[in-house]
Chains A and B, each alone.
Chain A
Amino acid sequence: MTTETSVKTSPRSKRGEEVDVAIIGAGPAGAVAALHLARAGFSVAVLEQGDWPDYNAYAGARPEWELVSQKYWHPNPNVRDRQGDYPIDNSDTAVNPLMFAGVGGSATLYGAQWMHLLPSDFRVRSLDGVADDWPYTYEDLLPYQLRIEKEVGISGLAGDPAYPPRPAYPLPPTPIGSVGMRGIQGMNELGWHWWPGSNAIPPEKYGNLNPCVRRGTCLTGCPEAAKSTTDRSHWPEAVKNGVNLMTNTRAKRIETDERGRATGVLYVDRNGRERVQKAKTVILCANGVGTPRLLLLSESGRAPGGLANSSGLVGKRLMMHPFASVLASFEDPLDSWRGPFGQQIYSLEFYETDASRGFLRGSKWNCMPSGGPLGVSGVVGSKVYVAEEGRFQDLWGDALHQNVRKRFGHSLIWGIVCEDLPEESNYVTLSSDLVDSDGIPAPKIVYKVSENSRRLLEFNIDRCVESVRAAGAIEWLLSYPVRESGWHLLGTCVMGEKAESSVVDQWGRCHDVPNLYIMDGSTFPTSGAVNPTATVMAVALRNTERLIQERRSQETPL
């Protein structure tokens, strides 16, 4: 039996009033859903545990940038420890998940590297005999990808032979600088693929975005408002269209009725009071850790293992893209503090499967600047390239001067994103003892780098060293897997056709709860090896438009 959703002219909802749709999370996926639903006349309330960004707080243009960023703009919430963050139990993981709570979501601290998945990523089972195919294809998703590019403001150069033909990007590519040119030198010497970087960074004014001025602080918040995040690209218009965006509001559980339909969201407001946002439909956009956490927190007598979890797959199949990094130094100056940061060039040379390499699937490389003197000194921060067991004298004293002299302004970083295959032994669960500031159980991550991923990492590290040597590097420092690298949180509420082997259908609708949707990267059946935000937003757009089209047959609570 179905009932009709009443479509309003999107008046702003009042507290306690039932809305057509409640969305949890104001990141990239939530922004797409909220804006398009509001434009279609739905009343929408959004619960976001963080706040609007304060661009004056981004320190990129100030001398103390490196000193303050490694605390206040660190991507690991356990280090950052802001009011809006929740802690994560990382006691049983080889890679720490990274995220940021706020309007704009984790993209607040992303590098804005903008990549589509490739055709083979949607057909991993068919082509390589492992994991699963997606319910749709590259070609099905491409129209949504292209529309999202215009909404976000993507710069790049069309014509990359690693992809099927595509139309021009909305904006021309950002400069690649001396760092990118040196990266190209090595790749061309070896006859390997590279392409100018595509980024959510405009080289010229675009909507609410200012032109990039190559400040190079993209990963710690852009003080120029020149990195596209949805607090600029989507939320202002969504709010103008009537969306009630409630910040400093932490969802605690999804409420259901006696039929198992979602009825709304129990949340803790900024004053610590519990309230309920009633809704005819609920959409989860809380990322690959936050979304399964909320479903597990929403267990009930009807759903003893967690809401929408009859398959037992909520939280399972966590993929985080094991990441390797090569810091290469050169004799001549590269001005390597200069942005964008961002990818100046990328390579898909080793993206597609070649079974003779001893592993399946592949990698994407991105060439980036190396930052300021503290970052390359090796003595502070996450010490990516430093053995923890080393003596302090190895890094300080004259060694400090030598390292800064050799690396600062003279180095580039190749980041290597490796595809992670889905495995049920990698998962998100609830911590038995850690809680957030509202007393809600924190997520716990259980994750190991698989044998396939280890081989993939080692192969790519070896190839990357060949590339930087061919480019004339005088020193290279390696790190893999980088512990602080879990930016891409995918797969923990997998989409599929069957309720017994997936959590949501191809439109993001939960098999068990027909008025509960998931529209973030947790629905990805496989991860590819590219930065996922483009695909997260394109999938959210596809799902949202389906929800709008089907609104008259949408099941809702009585």
Chain B
Amino acid sequence: MSEPRIPLELSEAAMATFLALADFLIPASPPMPVFSAVGRREAVEQNLLFRPDIREAFFRGLAKASGKPPEPALEELSTGDGEAFSAIGLIAVATYYMTPSIRALIGYPGQESVTYDADAIPPYLLNGMLEPVMARGKRYRSTPR
């Protein structure tokens, strides 16, 4: 018996199933929009390319959920096929929070590069924050002789 084939692309039907599940997992919560308002097909496909290791579980989960209302479908996956549930959830949440408009809403510039003056005197040396630590003095146990 041959292995079930992993779809090469996200069909219309599979995308519709995914959107229904993702919208249940990530609903609107003002000012945050529902997943389908920002979750583009190209982004979902790109993220599946980033993680080929979960592709099979992702499509297996969609096949199991096809034609079912989202909450019982997700309940069934969560209790019966955790790997598929995790794959669908990861692609949904990653796609959502990688979307520039969502990042803007939560104030996330990404893992940005920040310049600073390495020679500047740190604030804790200027504002007295370190003084109580110094004032308590030695804390270590010396090497016994």
Chain A residues with a Cβ under 8 A of chain B: 60-61, 63-68, 71, 118-120, 122-123, 126-127, 137-139, 157, 159, 161-164, 172-173, 175-176, 181, 184, 188, 191, 193-196, 203-204, 211, 213-217, 224, 333, 337-339, 348, 351-352, 372-374, 377, 379-380, 391-392, 396-398, 400-402, 404-405, 408-409
Contact = CB atoms under 8 A, between A and B. Distances in A.
B122 A123 contact: no
A165 to B, nearest CB: 10
Contact of B50 (A67, A203, A377): A67
Contacts of B116: 175, 203, 214
B113 A392 contact: no
Contacts of B124: 176, 181, 184, 196
Given A204-B119, A372-B97, 4 more contacts: A60-B111, A374-B94, A380-B94, A401-B29
Interface string B83-96: 00110011001100
Given A161-B139, A392-B85, A372 B108 contact: yes
A379 B136 CA distance: 43
B101 interface: no
B124 to A, nearest CB: 7
B38 interface: no
Contacts of A71: 51, 53
B51 A67 contact: yes
B106 A211 contact: no
Contact of B140 (A162, A203, A333, A397): A162
A172 B120 CA distance: 10
Given A213-B115, A215-B112, A400 B26 contact: yes
Given A161-B139, A408-B108, A397 B24 contact: yes
The 10 nearest A-B residue pairs measured at CB: A203-B118, A401-B29, A213-B113, A67-B94, A120-B141, A214-B114, A392-B78, A373-B97, A396-B25, A119-B143
Interface residues of B, number: 50
25 contacts: A61-B111, A61-B113, A67-B51, A118-B140, A127-B144, A138-B143, A161-B140, A175-B122, A184-B124, A188-B132, A196-B130, A214-B112, A337-B111, A339-B111, A348-B139, A352-B140, A372-B111, A373-B108, A377-B93, A380-B94, A392-B85, A397-B27, A401-B26, A408-B106, A409-B106
A189 to B, nearest CB: 10
Contacts of B130: 196
| Most A C-beta atoms less than 10 A away, residue of B24, B32, B97 | B97
B111 A215 contact: yes
B6 to A, nearest CB: 17
Nearest to A409: B107
Contacts of A122: 143
A392 B25 CA distance: 9
B108 A159 contact: no
B80 interface: no
Contacts of B112: 214-215, 338
B129 to A, nearest CB: 6
Contacts of B20: none
B110 interface: yes
Contact of B26 (A118, A159, A396, A405): A396
**DSSP class of A's interface residues: helix, strand, loop or mixed?**
loop
A377 B119 CA distance: 36
B137 A161 contact: yes
Contacts, number: 159
Contacts of B141: 118-120, 127, 352
A328 B108 CA distance: 19
Contacts of B114: 213-214, 338
A64 B98 contact: yes
Contact of A123 (B97, B138, B143): B143
Contacts of A175: 116, 122
A211 B123 CA distance: 20
Contacts of B90: 67, 380
Contacts of B143: 119-120, 122-123, 137-139
B66 interface: no
B126 interface: no
Nearest to B53: A71
B133 interface: yes
A380 B144 contact: no
A224 B115 CA distance: 13
Contacts of A397: 24-27
A409 B108 contact: yes
A157 to B, nearest CB: 8
Contacts of A65: 110-111
A25 B90 CA distance: 35
B53 to A, nearest CB: 6
Interface string B11-53: 0000000000000111101001000000000000001001101
A337 B26 contact: no
Interface string B56-83: 0000000000000000001100100000
B8 interface: no
A379 B93 CA distance: 8
A216 B111 contact: yes
A193 B133 contact: yes
B87 to A, nearest CB: 10
A211 B98 contact: no
B22 to A, nearest CB: 10
B5 to A, nearest CB: 22
A409 B139 CA distance: 34
B51 A215 contact: no
